[in-house]
Amino acid sequence: AETVVDGVNLVEQEELSVVQLPTAKTAFEKLQSDRKTLPVYPYREELLRAINDHQILIIVGETGSGKTTQIPQYLHEAGYTSRGRKIGCTQPRRVAAMSIAARVSQEMGVKLGHEVGYSIRFEDYGMLLREFLGEPDLASYSVLMVDEAHERTLSTDILFGLVKDIARFRPDLKLLISSATLDAEKFSDYFDSAPIFKIPGRRFPVEIHYTKAPEADYLDAAIVTALQIHVTHPPGDGDILIFLTGQEEIEIAEETLKHKTRGLGSKIAELIICPIYANLPTELQGKIFEPTPEGARKVVLATNIAETSLTIDGIKYVIDPGFVKMKSYNPRTGMESLLVTPISKASANQRAGRSGRTGPGKCFRLYTAYNYYNDLDDNTVPEIQRTNMANVVLSLKSLGINDLLNFDFMDPPPSEALLKALELLYALSALNKQGELTKVGRRMAEFPLDPMLSKMIVASEKYQCSDEAISIAAMLSIGNSIFYRPKDKQVHADNARSNFHMGNVGDHLALLKVYNSWKDTNFSTQWCYENYIQVRSMKRARDIRGQLEGLLERVEIEKTSNPNDLDAIKKAITSGFFPHSAKLQKNGSYRTVKHPQTVQIHPSSGLAQVLIPRWVVYHELVLTSKEYMRQVTQIKPEWLVEIAPHYYQLKDVEDHLVSKN
C-alpha cells in the first residue's frame, strides 16, 4: 500500500526551487498562519477526537469558520488518507466545489487534481450520487463530509438517506454532516441522535436597515444603495456584497455600475466590480477573493452562492433585495419553473451575517420590516418538496431501492410527485408494471440527464442516429446560452441564427446543425463570433458530448450516424419526448395532448417565426408571461401511436387524421 504524499513538504520544495525564494516562502507561510486564525483551529484536536469516537457527527459553525477548507485537511493530517483511502466532501454547488478545491490545494501546496481534486457533473446533479452507482458501499472513502447540509438541495437530501444506510454496514466509515445554521437537532434526530459539535463563531453586531416602503425596482435600488455607501464612506471602511438572483441581473448591475461610476469620474474612489455566479468562467472566479487594493473598494455581485457556500473576506456592507431564483414544481401538470421568489427569514439572516465577519457590519434590506416579519417564511422549503423526482427515482431504482414510499427521507417529497415520476418512468419503459427497472431503464440510468433525454439517446440505437442524439442532448443540456444577441446587433444575430433553422427543421435539429457546423470548422472560435454563438457554451457542449460518448460505449450502444434521415432523428427525439406533445388549436395556440393545458411556442423558437406546425414535441415548458414550449420540433401524429402505443391511443391523434382527409 502506498501512502499519500505529504502535500505540505512537496510544495515547499517545489516553490523553493522554482519561484523567488523569499516571497514564495512568505506567501505559503502566510497561508499557513492564516489557517491558524480560523475559528475552527482551536478545536482541531477536540474535533479529531470526536470524529474518532463517533461514527456520525453533526458539525455546526458559522460560515467562514473553516469547516469546508480545514476539516478535510485535519483529517488528512491525522492519517485518514493513508492506504490510498479518500476523504470526500460534497458541495451542493459546482462553483463552490471548484473554488474550494483550488483553495485547499493551495493551502496544502499541491497541484489541483493530484492530492486534492474535485468532480462536477454537467448538470446540477449530485456527482457523489452517481458514484454510488459504481461503488455502492463507497469502499474507497474513509470519511464522507456532507457539507452545506442546511441547504437541503435534492442531492443532499438523497445522500442523507443513502449514507445513513451505508453507515450501518460500514462501521469504519466516518460520516460528517456539516452545516451553517442552528437547526442541528433535526439533523441529529435523523441520524440516530448523532452528537453535535459546535464551533463557536466570531460574530460582530450587524445593524439592519429596512426600506420605509416597498421598492418598485430592487435592482435599481440595490445599485443606488451601493453607490450611496461608496460615496459616503471611505473605501478602506469595507467592501460591499449585493445578493442578486442570476447571471442576467448581475450583468445588468455590472454595466449600470460601470456606467455610473464612469460618470462620477475621479471624484470618487475606485470601485472594483466582482461578479460571481454558477456559469462564470473559472478564470474569472478567483477575482472575488483577491484582496482589495488600498484606496479602492470592492463590490461583489453574487447569487445565493455567497450566502453560505463561499466566504469573501472584508465585506462590511450587505445589500439584500430579498429575492432568490428558486425552482418549483407542479406535480399535476408536471411543470417545473424557475421563478424569482422572496427569500425566507433564515436566508435573510444568513445574508445579513455576511457583513459581520471581520467587524461590525451593516445590512440594507430592500424591503420593509413589516414585509420581513409578516410575509417571509421562516425557512426555505427543501428542494425535494418542490422538484421533479423522475431523475432521482431512476437513480434510486438503479441502486436497488425499490420501495420509495418508505425510503428514509428527512422530509419526504409529496407522494404525488413520486407517483408522477413513477408514471413517467413507466411511460418511458424504464420501469415495468411492477415498478422494477427494465433493461431500457438500466441503460438510461447510466446517463446523468433528465430521463427523457436519456430515453432519447437509448432509443437512438434503433434509429441508427446515436451520434446525432448525443449532440442534441449535449446542446440541450447547456440551456439557453448558445445564441448570443447583443443589443446593437440584433438583426445580424437573428439573421445568423435563422441560417440554422433553414428548412424549418425545428429547434432540436437546428441545435444539431450548430454543433456540426462548429465541428466542421474544427471548433473555430472565429466561426462562433461570426455566427453570434457563445463559444464558451459550445465548449461546454463539446465536453458534455464527450462524456456522453463514453457512456454510449458503456451501455454498449454503437455510435452510428444518420445525418440525412431527419425523420429518424425526429423519431428518436419523440421516443424520449412523446409525453411532451402538443397540438395546434384553431386560435393559434397549442394544447398539450396528455394533460391538456394551453401553451404557446416560445418566441425564441425558430419554428415560431416561419411555420405553424400542427403537431409538435417540446423539450420543456417555461412560465413567463404565458406558458411557453421551449425547443420545439414538428412531428407526425401517427409517430406518437407508433412509438408509444401504451401511452397514446388512436383517438388521441385522430382528429388530425380526420381533418386531413
The dihedral formed by the CA atoms of 557, 559, 562 and 568, expressed in degrees to the nearest 10: 20
Phi (first) and psi of residue 59, to 5 degrees: -115, 125
Q: Which is nearer to ligand ADP, 271 or 288 (CB)?
A: 288
Q: If you search the block for the grid coordinates 463570433, which residue do you land on? A: 529
Residue 454, contacted partner among Mg ion, ligand ADP, none, CB below 5-8 A by kind: none
The residue from 211, 311, 344, 385 that contacts ligand ADP (CB under 6 A) is 311
The beta strands (E) that lie in 230-388 are given as 239-243, 270-276, 296-302, 315-320, 323-330, 335-342, 361-365
The residue from 8, 15, 215, 289 that contacts ligand ADP (CB under 6 A) is 289
Residue 66, contacted partner among ligand ADP, Mg ion, none, CB below 5-8 A by kind: ligand ADP
Nearest distance in Å: CB 36, ligand ADP? 12
Binding residues for ligand ADP, total number by CB under 6 A: 16
Q: Which is nearer to ligand ADP, 102 or 566 (CB)?
A: 102
Nearest distance in Å: CB 291, ligand ADP? 9
Nearest distance in Å: CB 327, ligand ADP? 24
Q: Which is nearer to ligand ADP, 311 or 379 (CB)?
A: 311
User: Please, what is the angle between helix 21-35 and helix 94-108, to 10°?
Assistant: 120
256 and 224 in contact (C-beta within 8 Å)? no
Q: If you search the block for the grid coordinates 435592482, which residue do you land on? A: 219
Binding residues for Mg ion, total number by CB under 5 A: 2
Residue 289, contacted partner among ligand ADP, Mg ion, none, CB below 5-8 A by kind: ligand ADP
φ/ψ region of 437 (left if φ > 0, alpha if ψ in -120 to 50, else beta) reads beta
613 touches ligand ADP by CB under 6 A: no
Which single residue brings its beta carbon nearest to Mg ion?
A: 68
Tell me how many degrees the CA angle 181-365-180 measures, rounded to the nearest 5: 10
For residues 54-113, which are near ligand ADP according to CB under 6 A?
61, 63-70, 99-100, 103
The residue from 11, 28, 38, 562 that contacts ligand ADP (CB under 6 A) is 38
Q: Which is nearer to ligand ADP, 109 or 613 (CB)?
A: 109
For the record, the C-alpha cell of 420 comes out as 408522477
Distance CA 314, CA 294 (A): 13
Residue 235, contacted partner among Mg ion, ligand ADP, none, CB below 5-8 A by kind: none
Pairing state of beta strands 581-584 and 590-592? antiparallel
Residue 313, contacted partner among Mg ion, ligand ADP, none, CB below 5-8 A by kind: ligand ADP
Read off the DSSP letter of residue 379.
S
Nearest distance in Å: CB 147, Mg ion? 6
Residue 292, contacted partner among ligand ADP, Mg ion, none, CB below 5-8 A by kind: none
Nearest distance in Å: CB 152, Mg ion? 15
Q: Which is nearer to ligand ADP, 67 or 508 (CB)?
A: 67
Residue 288, contacted partner among ligand ADP, Mg ion, none, CB below 5-8 A by kind: none
Strand partners, 315: 239
Strand partners, 318: 241, 363
Distance of CA 606 to the CA centre of its chain: 27
Nearest distance in Å: CB 516, Mg ion? 42
Strand partners, 207: 362
Q: Candidates 34-42, 66-74, 125-133, 606-614 — which segment interacts with Mg ion by CB under 5 A? A: 66-74
Nearest distance in Å: CB 69, ligand ADP? 3
68 touches Mg ion by CB under 5 A: yes
Q: Candidates 59-67, 229-237, 288-296, 419-427 — which segment interacts with Mg ion by CB under 5 A? A: 59-67
290 touches ligand ADP by CB under 6 A: no
* H/E stretch holding 516: helix 507-520
Distance CA 394, CA 385 (A): 17
Q: Which is nearer to ligand ADP, 88 or 334 (CB)?
A: 88
* H/E stretch holding 461: none
* H/E stretch holding 47: helix 44-53
Q: Which is nearer to Mg ion, 100 or 528 (CB)?
A: 100
325 and 341 in contact (C-beta within 8 Å)? yes
HEC readout, 524-539: CHHHHHHCCECHHHHH
Tell me how many degrees the CA angle 193-197-198 measures, rounded to the nearest 5: 130
> What are the residues binding Mg ion (CB under 5 A)?
67-68
Residues that bind ligand ADP (CB under 6 A): 38, 61, 63-70, 99-100, 103, 289, 311, 313
